[in-house]
Structure 1
Amino acid sequence: MMASVVYVVDDDRSILASLESLLASEGYEVLTFDSAQAFLDAPARKTPGCLVLDVRLRGTSGLEFQRELRRRGNPTPVVFITGHGDVPMSVAAMKAGAIEFLLKPFRDQDLLDAVRNGIELDRARRSADSQMFELRERYAAMTPREREIMPLVASGLMNKQIASSLQLSEVTVKVHRAQIMQKLKARTLADLVRISDRLSGDTGKE
Protein backbone atom coordinates (compact mmCIF):
# COMPACT_ATOMS: atom_id res chain seq x y z
CA MET A 1 0.00 0.00 0.00
CA MET A 2 1.28 3.44 -0.91
CA ALA A 3 1.87 5.83 2.00
CA SER A 4 -1.38 7.35 3.22
CA VAL A 5 -2.78 8.75 6.44
CA VAL A 6 -6.20 8.65 8.06
CA TYR A 7 -7.16 11.43 10.46
CA VAL A 8 -9.83 10.61 13.03
CA VAL A 9 -11.57 13.41 14.94
CA ASP A 10 -13.93 12.30 17.73
CA ASP A 11 -14.31 13.48 21.32
CA ASP A 12 -15.00 9.92 22.52
CA ARG A 13 -11.61 8.41 23.34
CA SER A 14 -12.95 4.85 23.20
CA ILE A 15 -14.12 5.48 19.64
CA LEU A 16 -10.73 6.97 18.76
CA ALA A 17 -8.94 3.90 20.11
CA SER A 18 -11.28 1.51 18.31
CA LEU A 19 -10.99 3.26 14.95
CA GLU A 20 -7.23 3.65 15.30
CA SER A 21 -6.90 -0.10 15.85
CA LEU A 22 -9.16 -0.94 12.90
CA LEU A 23 -7.47 1.42 10.45
CA ALA A 24 -3.95 0.57 11.58
CA SER A 25 -4.72 -3.11 10.97
CA GLU A 26 -5.24 -2.20 7.31
CA GLY A 27 -1.80 -0.63 7.10
CA TYR A 28 -2.81 3.03 7.39
CA GLU A 29 -0.94 5.59 9.39
CA VAL A 30 -3.58 6.87 11.81
CA LEU A 31 -3.58 10.23 13.59
CA THR A 32 -6.29 10.78 16.20
CA PHE A 33 -7.63 14.04 17.62
CA ASP A 34 -10.19 14.62 20.36
CA SER A 35 -11.23 18.03 19.04
CA ALA A 36 -11.47 20.01 15.84
CA GLN A 37 -8.96 22.52 17.15
CA ALA A 38 -6.40 19.81 17.86
CA PHE A 39 -6.61 18.78 14.21
CA LEU A 40 -6.23 22.39 13.03
CA ASP A 41 -3.22 22.88 15.29
CA ALA A 42 -1.41 19.83 13.92
CA PRO A 43 1.24 20.29 11.19
CA ALA A 44 -0.06 19.81 7.65
CA ARG A 45 0.94 16.55 5.97
CA LYS A 46 1.84 16.06 2.32
CA THR A 47 0.65 12.46 2.27
CA PRO A 48 -2.65 11.47 0.60
CA GLY A 49 -5.25 11.17 3.31
CA CYS A 50 -8.84 11.02 4.48
CA LEU A 51 -10.59 12.53 7.49
CA VAL A 52 -13.01 10.46 9.58
CA LEU A 53 -15.10 13.00 11.45
CA ASP A 54 -17.79 12.69 14.10
CA VAL A 55 -20.79 14.92 13.47
CA ARG A 56 -21.13 15.95 17.11
CA LEU A 57 -18.04 17.40 18.75
CA ARG A 58 -17.53 19.51 21.85
CA GLY A 59 -17.46 23.20 21.01
CA THR A 60 -18.37 22.81 17.34
CA SER A 61 -20.30 20.48 15.10
CA GLY A 62 -18.64 18.31 12.52
CA LEU A 63 -20.57 20.15 9.82
CA GLU A 64 -19.26 23.52 11.03
CA PHE A 65 -15.76 22.06 11.13
CA GLN A 66 -16.16 20.77 7.58
CA ARG A 67 -17.11 24.28 6.43
CA GLU A 68 -14.11 25.72 8.29
CA LEU A 69 -11.78 23.29 6.50
CA ARG A 70 -13.15 24.43 3.14
CA ARG A 71 -12.70 28.08 4.12
CA ARG A 72 -9.07 27.30 4.92
CA GLY A 73 -8.61 25.59 1.56
CA ASN A 74 -8.17 22.13 3.06
CA PRO A 75 -9.58 19.66 0.49
CA THR A 76 -9.04 16.47 2.52
CA PRO A 77 -11.96 14.08 1.79
CA VAL A 78 -14.33 13.71 4.75
CA VAL A 79 -16.15 10.60 5.97
CA PHE A 80 -18.76 11.47 8.60
CA ILE A 81 -19.70 9.09 11.40
CA THR A 82 -22.54 9.71 13.83
CA GLY A 83 -24.90 8.05 16.24
CA HIS A 84 -27.45 10.84 15.86
CA GLY A 85 -27.76 11.34 12.12
CA ASP A 86 -30.84 12.34 10.22
CA VAL A 87 -31.61 12.83 6.55
CA PRO A 88 -31.27 16.66 6.46
CA MET A 89 -27.92 16.42 8.26
CA SER A 90 -26.57 13.79 5.86
CA VAL A 91 -27.78 15.78 2.86
CA ALA A 92 -26.05 18.91 4.18
CA ALA A 93 -22.83 16.98 4.72
CA MET A 94 -22.85 15.45 1.24
CA LYS A 95 -23.66 18.79 -0.39
CA ALA A 96 -20.68 20.28 1.43
CA GLY A 97 -18.44 17.63 -0.12
CA ALA A 98 -18.45 14.69 2.29
CA ILE A 99 -17.90 11.38 0.52
CA GLU A 100 -19.81 9.21 3.00
CA PHE A 101 -22.14 9.54 6.00
CA LEU A 102 -22.14 6.46 8.24
CA LEU A 103 -24.56 5.87 11.10
CA LYS A 104 -23.23 4.13 14.22
CA PRO A 105 -23.02 1.23 14.61
CA PHE A 106 -21.62 0.78 11.12
CA ARG A 107 -19.89 -2.22 9.62
CA ASP A 108 -16.09 -2.05 9.74
CA GLN A 109 -15.97 -2.82 6.02
CA ASP A 110 -18.25 0.13 5.21
CA LEU A 111 -15.84 2.49 6.95
CA LEU A 112 -12.79 0.89 5.34
CA ASP A 113 -14.38 1.15 1.90
CA ALA A 114 -15.21 4.82 2.48
CA VAL A 115 -11.69 5.59 3.71
CA ARG A 116 -10.12 3.77 0.76
CA ASN A 117 -12.31 5.78 -1.61
CA GLY A 118 -11.38 9.03 0.14
CA ILE A 119 -7.67 8.34 -0.05
CA GLU A 120 -7.89 7.45 -3.75
CA LEU A 121 -9.76 10.71 -4.39
CA ASP A 122 -7.11 12.67 -2.50
CA ARG A 123 -4.30 10.88 -4.31
CA ALA A 124 -5.92 11.67 -7.69
CA ARG A 125 -6.36 15.32 -6.68
CA ARG A 126 -2.74 15.62 -5.62
CA SER A 127 -1.60 14.06 -8.88
CA ALA A 128 -3.75 16.48 -10.88
CA ASP A 129 -2.42 19.42 -8.84
CA SER A 130 1.15 18.28 -9.49
CA GLN A 131 0.51 18.00 -13.22
CA MET A 132 -1.09 21.45 -13.24
CA PHE A 133 1.92 22.90 -11.43
CA GLU A 134 4.27 21.42 -14.02
CA LEU A 135 2.07 22.77 -16.79
CA ARG A 136 2.19 26.26 -15.30
CA GLU A 137 5.98 26.00 -15.13
CA ARG A 138 6.15 25.09 -18.82
CA TYR A 139 3.77 27.91 -19.71
CA ALA A 140 5.87 30.37 -17.68
CA ALA A 141 8.92 29.37 -19.78
CA MET A 142 7.20 30.50 -22.97
CA THR A 143 7.85 33.92 -24.51
CA PRO A 144 5.07 36.53 -24.75
CA ARG A 145 4.87 35.92 -28.51
CA GLU A 146 4.54 32.17 -27.99
CA ARG A 147 1.75 32.77 -25.49
CA GLU A 148 0.04 34.96 -28.06
CA ILE A 149 0.32 32.36 -30.81
CA MET A 150 -0.58 29.30 -28.72
CA PRO A 151 -4.39 29.86 -28.56
CA LEU A 152 -4.44 30.61 -32.29
CA VAL A 153 -2.72 27.33 -33.03
CA ALA A 154 -5.03 25.52 -30.61
CA SER A 155 -8.06 27.01 -32.35
CA GLY A 156 -7.02 25.23 -35.54
CA LEU A 157 -5.73 28.18 -37.56
CA MET A 158 -3.10 27.42 -40.18
CA ASN A 159 0.34 28.99 -40.02
CA LYS A 160 -0.40 31.38 -42.86
CA GLN A 161 -3.62 32.51 -41.19
CA ILE A 162 -1.80 33.19 -37.92
CA ALA A 163 0.97 34.99 -39.81
CA SER A 164 -1.56 37.22 -41.51
CA SER A 165 -3.39 37.95 -38.27
CA LEU A 166 -0.22 38.92 -36.38
CA GLN A 167 1.64 40.43 -39.35
CA LEU A 168 4.43 37.89 -39.10
CA SER A 169 6.11 35.74 -41.70
CA GLU A 170 4.84 32.20 -42.06
CA VAL A 171 8.32 30.89 -41.32
CA THR A 172 8.38 32.82 -38.03
CA VAL A 173 5.02 31.37 -37.02
CA LYS A 174 6.24 27.89 -37.90
CA VAL A 175 9.29 28.32 -35.64
CA HIS A 176 7.15 29.64 -32.77
CA ARG A 177 4.71 26.79 -33.24
CA ALA A 178 7.49 24.23 -32.94
CA GLN A 179 8.79 25.94 -29.80
CA ILE A 180 5.32 25.96 -28.25
CA MET A 181 4.87 22.26 -28.89
CA GLN A 182 8.29 21.48 -27.45
CA LYS A 183 7.95 23.63 -24.33
CA LEU A 184 4.48 22.31 -23.50
CA LYS A 185 5.49 18.74 -24.38
CA ALA A 186 2.56 18.47 -26.78
CA ARG A 187 3.08 15.76 -29.38
CA THR A 188 -0.03 16.51 -31.44
CA LEU A 189 -2.47 19.33 -32.05
CA ALA A 190 -5.01 17.42 -29.94
CA ASP A 191 -2.51 17.46 -27.05
CA LEU A 192 -2.10 21.21 -27.46
CA VAL A 193 -5.86 21.76 -27.49
CA ARG A 194 -6.24 19.85 -24.21
CA ILE A 195 -3.35 21.75 -22.64
CA SER A 196 -4.74 25.08 -23.83
CA ASP A 197 -8.15 24.23 -22.35
CA ARG A 198 -6.60 23.37 -19.00
CA LEU A 199 -4.53 26.53 -18.92
CA SER A 200 -7.43 28.74 -19.94
CA GLY A 201 -9.43 27.46 -16.98
CA ASP A 202 -6.54 27.73 -14.54
CA THR A 203 -6.73 30.77 -12.25
CA GLY A 204 -3.20 30.07 -10.96
CA LYS A 205 -1.63 30.65 -14.38
CA GLU A 206 0.76 33.56 -14.62
Structure 2
Amino acid sequence: MKHHAAFGLAMEDIDAVVVEDSKPMQTILRSILLSFKVARVRVFDSVDEALEASLAEPPNVILTDWRMAPTSGYQFLRLVRHRHMEPLCYVPILFITAHGTRPLVDKALRAGAHHVLVKPVSPSTLFKRLKWLLADDRPMILENSGFYNIYGIQKAMDEQAEKMQSLAGARLHHRVATQKRAEVEGAVEAAFDSKEEEPEKVFAGVKKEAPPKQHSAAAKHIRNAGFAPFKGLKLH
Protein backbone atom coordinates (compact mmCIF):
# COMPACT_ATOMS: atom_id res chain seq x y z
CA MET A 1 0.00 0.00 0.00
CA LYS A 2 1.15 3.50 -0.84
CA HIS A 3 0.04 7.00 0.19
CA HIS A 4 -1.34 9.46 -2.33
CA ALA A 5 1.04 11.85 -4.10
CA ALA A 6 0.27 14.90 -1.92
CA PHE A 7 0.54 13.25 1.50
CA GLY A 8 2.98 14.99 3.85
CA LEU A 9 3.79 17.88 1.51
CA ALA A 10 3.64 21.55 2.41
CA MET A 11 1.25 23.83 0.55
CA GLU A 12 4.23 25.58 -1.05
CA ASP A 13 5.38 22.28 -2.59
CA ILE A 14 2.13 21.51 -4.41
CA ASP A 15 2.12 21.10 -8.19
CA ALA A 16 -1.57 21.43 -9.10
CA VAL A 17 -3.39 20.58 -12.32
CA VAL A 18 -6.77 22.18 -13.04
CA VAL A 19 -9.11 20.64 -15.63
CA GLU A 20 -11.98 22.99 -16.41
CA ASP A 21 -13.75 23.84 -19.69
CA SER A 22 -15.01 27.21 -18.41
CA LYS A 23 -12.53 30.05 -18.92
CA PRO A 24 -13.91 32.21 -16.09
CA MET A 25 -13.71 29.25 -13.69
CA GLN A 26 -10.15 28.55 -14.84
CA THR A 27 -9.18 32.11 -13.93
CA ILE A 28 -10.84 31.87 -10.52
CA LEU A 29 -9.22 28.57 -9.57
CA ARG A 30 -5.80 29.64 -10.79
CA SER A 31 -6.04 32.87 -8.79
CA ILE A 32 -7.15 31.05 -5.63
CA LEU A 33 -4.40 28.42 -5.85
CA LEU A 34 -1.70 31.00 -6.48
CA SER A 35 -2.90 32.93 -3.41
CA PHE A 36 -2.06 29.79 -1.40
CA LYS A 37 1.56 30.11 -2.60
CA VAL A 38 1.54 26.71 -4.29
CA ALA A 39 4.61 25.86 -6.34
CA ARG A 40 2.85 25.44 -9.69
CA VAL A 41 -0.57 25.62 -11.36
CA ARG A 42 -1.28 24.13 -14.77
CA VAL A 43 -4.70 24.71 -16.35
CA PHE A 44 -6.25 22.64 -19.17
CA ASP A 45 -9.46 22.94 -21.15
CA SER A 46 -10.03 19.22 -21.66
CA VAL A 47 -9.30 15.83 -20.12
CA ASP A 48 -7.22 14.74 -23.09
CA GLU A 49 -4.84 17.69 -22.75
CA ALA A 50 -4.60 17.28 -18.98
CA LEU A 51 -3.97 13.54 -19.21
CA GLU A 52 -1.17 13.93 -21.72
CA ALA A 53 0.58 16.62 -19.66
CA SER A 54 0.04 14.75 -16.38
CA LEU A 55 1.53 11.54 -17.74
CA ALA A 56 4.64 13.44 -18.77
CA GLU A 57 4.88 15.34 -15.46
CA PRO A 58 2.64 13.87 -12.74
CA PRO A 59 1.23 16.58 -10.46
CA ASN A 60 0.63 16.29 -6.72
CA VAL A 61 -3.09 17.05 -6.95
CA ILE A 62 -5.74 17.34 -9.66
CA LEU A 63 -8.77 19.62 -9.46
CA THR A 64 -11.34 18.83 -12.12
CA ASP A 65 -14.89 19.57 -13.18
CA TRP A 66 -17.38 16.70 -13.47
CA ARG A 67 -19.36 17.51 -16.60
CA MET A 68 -17.08 18.00 -19.57
CA ALA A 69 -17.05 16.86 -23.18
CA PRO A 70 -16.02 14.73 -24.94
CA THR A 71 -14.46 13.07 -21.87
CA SER A 72 -16.12 13.66 -18.49
CA GLY A 73 -14.48 14.18 -15.14
CA TYR A 74 -15.65 10.75 -14.00
CA GLN A 75 -14.03 9.09 -17.03
CA PHE A 76 -10.86 11.04 -16.26
CA LEU A 77 -10.91 9.68 -12.71
CA ARG A 78 -11.25 6.11 -13.93
CA LEU A 79 -8.43 6.55 -16.43
CA VAL A 80 -6.10 7.98 -13.79
CA ARG A 81 -6.88 5.25 -11.25
CA HIS A 82 -6.03 2.35 -13.57
CA ARG A 83 -2.95 0.37 -12.49
CA HIS A 84 -1.28 0.93 -15.88
CA MET A 85 -1.20 4.67 -15.13
CA GLU A 86 1.38 4.40 -12.33
CA PRO A 87 2.60 6.73 -10.82
CA LEU A 88 -0.32 8.96 -11.92
CA CYS A 89 -2.74 6.53 -10.27
CA TYR A 90 -1.63 7.80 -6.83
CA VAL A 91 -2.48 11.44 -7.53
CA PRO A 92 -5.45 12.65 -5.42
CA ILE A 93 -8.38 14.10 -7.32
CA LEU A 94 -10.79 16.77 -6.05
CA PHE A 95 -13.96 17.43 -8.02
CA ILE A 96 -15.31 20.98 -8.20
CA THR A 97 -18.78 20.81 -9.69
CA ALA A 98 -22.06 22.69 -9.84
CA HIS A 99 -23.97 19.41 -9.58
CA GLY A 100 -23.04 18.13 -6.12
CA THR A 101 -25.95 15.72 -5.72
CA ARG A 102 -25.76 12.83 -3.26
CA PRO A 103 -25.61 10.15 -6.02
CA LEU A 104 -22.81 12.07 -7.76
CA VAL A 105 -20.78 12.38 -4.55
CA ASP A 106 -21.30 8.69 -3.77
CA LYS A 107 -20.23 7.69 -7.28
CA ALA A 108 -17.14 9.92 -7.24
CA LEU A 109 -15.89 8.80 -3.83
CA ARG A 110 -16.48 5.12 -4.53
CA ALA A 111 -14.44 5.48 -7.72
CA GLY A 112 -11.43 6.93 -5.90
CA ALA A 113 -11.97 10.69 -5.64
CA HIS A 114 -10.69 12.26 -2.43
CA HIS A 115 -13.27 15.00 -2.18
CA VAL A 116 -16.14 16.77 -3.96
CA LEU A 117 -16.62 20.55 -3.69
CA VAL A 118 -19.67 22.43 -4.96
CA LYS A 119 -19.44 25.60 -7.04
CA PRO A 120 -19.11 28.40 -6.26
CA VAL A 121 -16.22 27.37 -4.02
CA SER A 122 -14.76 29.90 -1.61
CA PRO A 123 -10.98 30.28 -1.12
CA SER A 124 -11.29 29.36 2.57
CA THR A 125 -13.17 26.15 1.79
CA LEU A 126 -10.68 25.08 -0.86
CA PHE A 127 -7.75 25.89 1.45
CA LYS A 128 -9.23 23.75 4.24
CA ARG A 129 -9.82 20.85 1.86
CA LEU A 130 -6.27 21.01 0.55
CA LYS A 131 -4.85 21.18 4.09
CA TRP A 132 -6.98 18.17 4.99
CA LEU A 133 -5.73 16.37 1.89
CA LEU A 134 -2.07 16.95 2.76
CA ALA A 135 -2.67 15.22 6.10
CA ASP A 136 -4.87 12.41 4.77
CA ASP A 137 -2.88 9.25 5.48
CA ARG A 138 -5.30 6.74 3.97
CA PRO A 139 -3.23 4.52 1.66
CA MET A 140 -4.07 3.68 -1.93
CA ILE A 141 -4.79 0.02 -2.64
CA LEU A 142 -5.12 -1.98 -5.85
CA GLU A 143 -8.54 -3.59 -6.11
CA ASN A 144 -9.33 -6.81 -7.96
CA SER A 145 -10.83 -4.70 -10.75
CA GLY A 146 -7.36 -3.38 -11.62
CA PHE A 147 -8.07 0.13 -10.35
CA TYR A 148 -6.50 1.88 -7.39
CA ASN A 149 -8.77 3.18 -4.69
CA ILE A 150 -8.62 4.71 -1.20
CA TYR A 151 -8.30 2.11 1.53
CA GLY A 152 -11.57 1.58 3.42
CA ILE A 153 -13.62 3.91 1.23
CA GLN A 154 -16.19 1.31 0.16
CA LYS A 155 -16.90 0.28 3.76
CA ALA A 156 -17.10 3.91 4.86
CA MET A 157 -19.56 4.75 2.07
CA ASP A 158 -21.69 1.69 2.89
CA GLU A 159 -21.85 2.71 6.55
CA GLN A 160 -22.77 6.27 5.61
CA ALA A 161 -25.49 5.01 3.26
CA GLU A 162 -26.87 2.80 6.05
CA LYS A 163 -26.94 5.75 8.45
CA MET A 164 -28.70 7.92 5.89
CA GLN A 165 -31.25 5.17 5.28
CA SER A 166 -31.85 4.79 9.03
CA LEU A 167 -32.21 8.55 9.37
CA ALA A 168 -34.68 8.65 6.48
CA GLY A 169 -36.65 5.83 8.13
CA ALA A 170 -36.68 7.67 11.44
CA ARG A 171 -37.91 10.85 9.77
CA LEU A 172 -40.67 8.93 7.99
CA HIS A 173 -41.72 7.27 11.25
CA HIS A 174 -41.81 10.65 13.00
CA ARG A 175 -43.87 12.17 10.19
CA VAL A 176 -46.40 9.31 10.28
CA ALA A 177 -46.61 9.42 14.10
CA THR A 178 -47.15 13.19 14.02
CA GLN A 179 -49.89 12.80 11.44
CA LYS A 180 -51.64 10.08 13.48
CA ARG A 181 -51.42 12.20 16.61
CA ALA A 182 -53.00 15.12 14.80
CA GLU A 183 -55.81 12.85 13.57
CA VAL A 184 -56.45 11.52 17.08
CA GLU A 185 -56.43 14.99 18.61
CA GLY A 186 -58.86 16.15 15.92
CA ALA A 187 -61.19 13.23 16.60
CA VAL A 188 -61.13 13.82 20.38
CA GLU A 189 -61.79 17.53 19.92
CA ALA A 190 -64.70 16.78 17.59
CA ALA A 191 -66.14 14.32 20.13
CA PHE A 192 -66.01 16.90 22.94
CA ASP A 193 -67.62 19.52 20.72
CA SER A 194 -70.40 17.05 19.91
CA LYS A 195 -71.10 16.31 23.59
CA GLU A 196 -71.28 20.00 24.42
CA GLU A 197 -73.81 20.62 21.65
CA GLU A 198 -75.95 17.54 22.48
CA PRO A 199 -78.02 19.02 25.41
CA GLU A 200 -78.83 22.08 23.37
CA LYS A 201 -80.03 19.88 20.52
CA VAL A 202 -82.20 17.77 22.89
CA PHE A 203 -83.86 20.80 24.42
CA ALA A 204 -84.23 22.40 21.04
CA GLY A 205 -86.21 19.37 19.85
CA VAL A 206 -88.67 19.33 22.79
CA LYS A 207 -91.98 21.05 22.13
CA LYS A 208 -92.89 23.37 24.98
CA GLU A 209 -96.34 22.83 26.46
CA ALA A 210 -98.68 25.76 26.42
CA PRO A 211 -99.56 27.14 29.85
CA PRO A 212 -103.03 26.15 31.14
CA LYS A 213 -105.78 28.32 29.79
CA GLN A 214 -107.23 30.77 32.28
CA HIS A 215 -111.02 30.93 32.44
CA SER A 216 -113.20 33.73 33.70
CA ALA A 217 -115.36 33.38 36.80
CA ALA A 218 -118.49 33.26 34.61
CA ALA A 219 -117.08 30.48 32.50
CA LYS A 220 -116.22 28.48 35.61
CA HIS A 221 -119.78 28.95 36.92
CA ILE A 222 -121.29 27.74 33.66
CA ARG A 223 -118.91 24.72 33.54
CA ASN A 224 -119.68 23.79 37.13
CA ALA A 225 -123.43 24.08 36.49
CA GLY A 226 -123.16 21.34 33.93
CA PHE A 227 -124.31 23.13 30.84
CA ALA A 228 -122.64 24.96 28.01
CA PRO A 229 -123.67 28.42 26.87
CA PHE A 230 -126.38 28.57 24.23
CA LYS A 231 -127.18 24.83 24.68
CA GLY A 232 -130.88 24.29 23.92
CA LEU A 233 -131.44 27.90 23.09
CA LYS A 234 -134.01 28.36 20.34
CA LEU A 235 -133.92 31.23 18.08
CA HIS A 236 -137.25 32.75 16.95
Residue segments in structure 2 that go unaligned for 5+ positions in a row: 1-9, 141-236
Residue 61 of structure 1 corresponds to 72
Partners in 1 of 2:22 and 2:120 — Cα distance?
Answer: 14
CA contact (8 A) 2:81 2:112 kept: no
Residue 85 of structure 1 corresponds to 100
Partners in 2 of 1:59 and 1:105 — Cα distance?
Answer: 23
Residue 76 of structure 1 corresponds to 91
Query: How far did residue 51 of structure 1 move?
Result: 0.7
Equivalent pairs counted in the alignment come to 124
Pick aligned residue for 1:97 from 112, 116, 129: 112
Name the aligned partner's letter for residue 109 of structure 1.
S
Residue segments in structure 1 that go unaligned for 5+ positions in a row: 127-206
CA contact (8 A) 2:48 2:71 kept: no
Write the mapping of 1:53-202 to structure 2, written as runs, cut at 5 A.
Answer: 53-71=64-82, 72-73=85-86, 74-121=89-136
Query: How far did residue 85 of structure 1 move?
Result: 2.4
Residue 45 of structure 1 corresponds to 57
- Higher relative contact order by CA 8 Å / sep ≥ 6: 1 or 2? 2
Let me know the Cα RMSD of the aligned residues: 2.3
Partners in 2 of 1:46 and 1:69 — Cα distance?
Answer: 11
Residue 27 of structure 1 corresponds to 37
Q: Find the structure with the greater CA-based Rg.
A: 2
Name the aligned partner's letter for residue 34 of structure 2.
A
Describe the superposition over 1:154-198 as per-residue Cα deviations: whole angstroms up to 9, x where unpaired.
xxxxxxxxxxxxxxxxxxxxxxxxxxxxxxxxxxxxxxxxxxxxx
Partners in 2 of 1:119 and 1:45 — Cα distance?
Answer: 20
Name the aligned partner's letter for residue 44 of structure 1.
A
Query: How far did residue 125 of structure 1 move?
Result: 6.8
Query: How far did residue 41 of structure 1 move?
Result: 1.4
The normalised TM-score by structure 2 is 0.48
Name the aligned partner's letter for residue 15 of structure 1.
M
Name the aligned partner's letter for residue 104 of structure 1.
K
% identical aligned pairs:
31
CA contact (8 A) 1:78 1:118 kept: no
